Chain A
Amino acid sequence: MEGLAYSRRSFLARALAAAASLALFRRLSKAEASVRQAPGQAVAARPHRWGMVIDLDRCTGCQACVVACWAENNQPLPSPEAHRAGRIIEWMTLLPSTEGEYPAVRQRLMPVPCQHCDRPPCTPVCPVFATYKNPEGLVAQIYPRCIGCRYCVNACPYTCKFFNWSTPTWPAPMEAMHNPDVSVRPKGVTEKCTFCHHRLIRAKEQAASDGRTLREGDYVPACMQVCPARAIAFGDLDEPNSAASQLGRSPRRSLLQEELGTRPKVTYLAEA
């Protein structure tokens, strides 16, 4: 060992140098990235904070939102096998609950998308920074970065993260109906509701080409768009006049498991 000119000290030094150089390069490329992005951005606007309000007094439990979400986001097709294994992927789901005894029975079906928490429990546990909260408040999942450890799936108290246990397949010719704006996730990757983020990108592009800032209603997720009872409102929570902000101040408001301190951006309005 003595003959080798490779001491603990030199190893540490080299490792440190490598780490420092890595950090430097990363910073350089990032700085450049932000410079490069600046002119591409639409008419500079203050950041948005996207949020949703679900009015349970309007909701009829029809599940159009669930199906529209499947169709919009290229989610794997449900199957009896996946159902029995508890591995159905549905970014928007309906949570059933029944209480009381005959004949005074209450039954509820509550639509639950990702709550897009302001303090998401799922992001700090990700070892590879695949899931993070973006500047507009959306809890995002970068699929190519995800290593499938499922820490975030376990950390989410709302069970809104879904793991691809197998390669999703669509029998021919069903791939034809895939939304070209949304990538198909491979096996071994966790996925989740994005508030139809691809629609935000489109809305921003449209606004930029029209030379204006985003307006209320430019960006609408598929679940809200399809809802026949008009039970879902969506918009910028930092914009006090948006429908979502206004409804979100209703005395009927509540948050799912508010006590956890996750600060969800999905607000529920109770049945009156």
Chain B
Amino acid sequence: MELTRRAFLGLTGLIATTAGAVEDLIKYRLLGLPPPAADEELLPRAPEQWAPSVCQLCPAGCGVAARVVQGRVVKLEGLPAHPVNQGALCPRGAAGLTELYHPDRLLQPLRRVGERGEGRFEPVAWEEAMPLLVDRLRGLRQRGEPQRLAWLSGPSRSLGRQLIQRFLRAWGSPHDLVLSPPAGELPAEAFRLMVDREGEPLYDLAQANLLLSFGLDWLQAYPSPVEASRAYGWLRQGRSDRRARIVQVEPRLSMTAAKSDEWIPIRPGQDGWLALGIAHVLIRERLIHDQLAQNSVGLEPFARFVASRADPEAVAERTGVPPETIQRLAKEFGLRRGLAVGARADLMTQWAVMSLNGLVGNLDARGGVLRRWEPPGLSLPPEPARDDVAERGLQAQRLAHAERLPEHLLDGTEAPIEILCVHQANPCFISPSPSRWVEALGRMPFIVSFASMLDETALHADLVLPLATALEQWQFASVCTSDGRAAVNITPPVVPPRGAARALEEVILQLARALGPPVAGAFPWDSVEPLVKERAQALYETKSGTPLPPIRWSSETMREADKPPTSGEGLLERLRLGGGAVWPAEDAPWAEFRTPSGRLELFPDAMTTLLETASAEAGGGEAQHAPLQLYLYSPLAFLAGTGAHLPFLQQIAGRHLSEAWETWAELHPSTARQFGIRDGERIWIASLHGKVEATARWCEGVVPGVVAMPLGLGHLACGRWAKDIGANPAHLVGRRLDEQTGQPFWQGTLVKVWKA
């Protein structure tokens, strides 16, 4: 038979059209398969568990619920009953699993084989790695110089921090150094001078009537991002009383400024003077609290100081904020008893902002400044007596500020450090002029990095020990909410650590055991679990706190939860089901001012000397060559300079400009035109200290004459998603530190720009 083109087409058409029908016929009629119903598709399902844990991507301590299927964690959600995050998460927390399953995580201890900083390592087993450190430490002790060990940490409230401090005390070194991030902390130093010598402030954001922020981008860089966002939602649409007013003072239209009722642009680094200008008007217009004279000391000299130095005209000159605005702000602030919030900047700024809360009586008050507190029974038991070596070591002069370490090492004036342990701090990336740290670490005889990623500082280490991440370890730490409640997070590991990674806490316990007495005496626990059990017993004996409800309700857990625990172990079981326990704000031991006078110190002695030397700012010849001021900010994605190693966070960091995976520099169009720079062009930004390349972006939301740049990009290490992406503007900042707080002056560096 002859097959023509037409017949062929006809036949194939027929076959094609009937094939589908025949297939359906066979599948559904003959074989009885279930028909496809696209929107009701049932998926084969493996059994799943939900386990509580704690997010460790910032120190806030949000409770998370991990969904575990076949040994894999497939989702992190907020723990609904947790007092800090109440079921929500911030974008960092939501990206938590990419941290756990990061392909470039450290899974093996590494020993340096190349030159320092070259980045050549060989993997070693823990059994080989630990003796490297232990032998070094023994050597120090035999020479009777335990003070030559320093431990550098980042801000953290984990059990690990407590164990580090305990280790150093038992060992005999005073050098427990904590490196502050450039943004996202509250003004602890001013609070300690003025209110409570051991305290830390909390801002009761959600109850504020007028929230006046001095450069604290609290919707992005805040110690507890979820709480800040929740407070904002509540201030806007949750409260039934009068709508709160939100005012943001900042050189840049930050996310907070954009969401505020009013944005007050200001020159970088002048926040403190604006606060003093407001204080001037508050006192002049008698808008201060009635009882202030009785409750405080230093009102007289404070009033004299602001009267002479901070009248609105003079402040306007300095800050660029018109005097009428200062007057209006002050009146609003006094009449509505505002809450002034600021960052952990230099002491003068901290003090000026905190004093506003003192003036209107908003310290230890709802909608004002509260204090962090710890519930009873949680702190570790007292250590046994130290030996003479440790006692002598602890007498050594303590390094005042972590950020001073490079200068100490390079000058060689002070007793040098021989062994430096680094944990959750990355000064070779996020500190002013990080190359100074690199230089200084080059002279350090032995550096141990405890890290989950090979970061810039770990690159310079002699020994890198791989750490477990949040879900792979026991969590035990107390936290405090913005509204003054306290809680404790107690959760077991959700999954075992990847590779050979170990929890920092376990490593410290092993280290102490390997060193033997007397250090081992302070650590009577084999591992973290017995330690937590012991604390649970102590907690049970205090008979305080309410356990959080079990993470997933079932009739079984509900029955269990109804019965009060009858032992420490029973309590621990309960805490493990829910993730911890919570204490109401009423239990907080507030009220007393813990200052030398027992009252609010409005004008602490430290300020008297500081202000005499203050206001000597760089200028003159330098200003001509570098006519612009640099303003650095931390997007929430890169809070504390960390987060660029996670692809989700890279993608969201520059959303307001649709920028991602690149460092950009925001310039006001008038400033940009002045230098012939078009939107989107590559430019150089240079200061006396260094230069970086970035993409120029025209931005109406920047004070003219200011270059605003995000911190957090420009890694040389930290895995595939961070390495060689963007530039690090920390290189532009000089190493001038505030004497009192040790905080670098991050803002206001003079820079110039030109087309690349």
> Contact check: which of B87, B100, B233 meets A225 at CB < 8 Å?
B87
> Contact check: which of B90, B258, B498 meets A228 at CB < 8 Å?
B90
> Contact check: which of A25, A61, A228 meets B230 at CB < 8 Å?
A228
Residues on A with beta carbons closer than 8 Å to the beta carbon of B291: none
| A80 close to B (CB within 8 Å) | yes
| B232 close to A (CB within 8 Å) | yes
A62-B100 contact, Cβ under 8 Å, with A6-B10, A29-B28, A71-B95: no
Roughly how many angstroms separate A19 CA and B720 CA in the complex, as a whole number? Answer: 55
The 6 closest A-B pairs by CB, nearest first: A229-B233, A33-B35, A25-B21, A228-B229, A78-B651, A58-B233
> Contact check: which of A19, A58, A64, A176 meets B72 at CB < 8 Å?
A176
Cross-chain contact A14 with B10 (CB below 8 angstroms) = yes
| A147 close to B (CB within 8 Å) | no
A63-B655 contact, Cβ under 8 Å, with A22-B21, A71-B75, A176-B73: yes
Cross-chain contact A177 with B73 (CB below 8 angstroms) = yes
A4-B38 contact, Cβ under 8 Å, with A62-B91, A62-B636, A173-B103: no
Interface residues of A in 19-77 (CB under 8 A from B): 19, 21-22, 24-26, 28-30, 32-33, 36-37, 55, 57-64, 66-68, 70-72, 77
B100 to nearest A CB, angstroms? 7
Roughly how many angstroms separate A67 CA and B655 CA in the complex, as a whole number? Answer: 13
Cross-chain contact B97 with A71 (CB below 8 angstroms) = yes
Residues on B with beta carbons closer than 8 Å to the beta carbon of A14: 10, 14
Interface residues of B in 42-81 (CB under 8 A from A): 42-43, 45-46, 69, 72-78
Question: Please, how many residues of chain A have a CB less than 8 angstroms from a CB on the other chain?
Answer: 82
| A155 close to B (CB within 8 Å) | no
Interface pairs (19), CB distance under 8 Å:
A11-B6, A15-B17, A26-B24, A63-B636, A68-B89, A78-B660, A79-B661, A80-B650, A80-B662, A94-B652, A94-B655, A96-B655, A102-B703, A138-B39, A178-B74, A180-B46, A228-B225, A228-B227, A228-B229
Cross-chain contact B14 with A32 (CB below 8 angstroms) = no
A171-B103 contact, Cβ under 8 Å, with A11-B10, A226-B88: yes
> Contact check: which of A32, A61, A228 meets B89 at CB < 8 Å?
A228
Cross-chain contact B39 with A6 (CB below 8 angstroms) = no
| A98 close to B (CB within 8 Å) | yes
> Contact check: which of B2, B232, B657 meets A229 at CB < 8 Å?
B232
| B658 close to A (CB within 8 Å) | yes
Interface residues of B in 649-669 (CB under 8 A from A): 649-652, 655-658, 660-662, 668
> Contact check: which of A29, A138, A197, A226 meets B35 at CB < 8 Å?
A29
Cross-chain contact B24 with A25 (CB below 8 angstroms) = yes
Residues on B with beta carbons closer than 8 Å to the beta carbon of A272: 236-237, 243
| B98 close to A (CB within 8 Å) | yes
Cross-chain contact A228 with B21 (CB below 8 angstroms) = no
1/0 contact trace for B231-274 toward A, CB 8 Å? 01110111000010000000001010011000101000000000
Cross-chain contact B101 with A176 (CB below 8 angstroms) = yes
A55-B94 contact, Cβ under 8 Å, with A140-B39, A198-B43: no
Cross-chain contact A107 with B656 (CB below 8 angstroms) = yes
| B317 close to A (CB within 8 Å) | no
Residues on B with beta carbons closer than 8 Å to the beta carbon of A62: 90-91, 219-220, 225, 229, 255, 636
1/0 contact trace for B14-51 toward A, CB 8 Å? 10011011101100110000110111111101100000
Residues on B with beta carbons closer than 8 Å to the beta carbon of A226: 77-78, 88-89, 94
Name B residues whose Cβ lies closer than 8 Å to a Cβ of A. 2, 4, 6-7, 10, 13-14, 17-18, 20-22, 24-25, 28-29, 34-35, 37-43, 45-46, 69, 72-78, 85, 87-91, 93-95, 97-98, 100-103, 219-220, 225-230, 232-234, 236-238, 243, 253, 255, 258-259, 263, 265, 498, 636-637, 647-652, 655-658, 660-662, 668, 699-704, 720, 725
| A125 close to B (CB within 8 Å) | no
Roughly how many angstroms separate A198 CA and B40 CA in the complex, as a whole number? Answer: 9
Cross-chain contact A37 with B229 (CB below 8 angstroms) = no
Roughly how many angstroms separate A106 CA and B262 CA in the complex, as a whole number? Answer: 10
Residues on B with beta carbons closer than 8 Å to the beta carbon of A174: 98, 101-103
Residues on A with beta carbons closer than 8 Å to the beta carbon of B498: 173
Cross-chain contact A83 with B35 (CB below 8 angstroms) = no
Cross-chain contact A67 with B94 (CB below 8 angstroms) = yes
Residue in B closest to A10 when the chains form the complex, CB atoms: B10
Cross-chain contact B2 with A67 (CB below 8 angstroms) = no
Residues on B with beta carbons closer than 8 Å to the beta carbon of A215: none
Residues on B with beta carbons closer than 8 Å to the beta carbon of A84: 661
Residues on A with beta carbons closer than 8 Å to the beta carbon of B41: 201
A32-B103 contact, Cβ under 8 Å, with A94-B655, A102-B704, A179-B74: no
Interface residues of A in 220-255 (CB under 8 A from B): 225-231
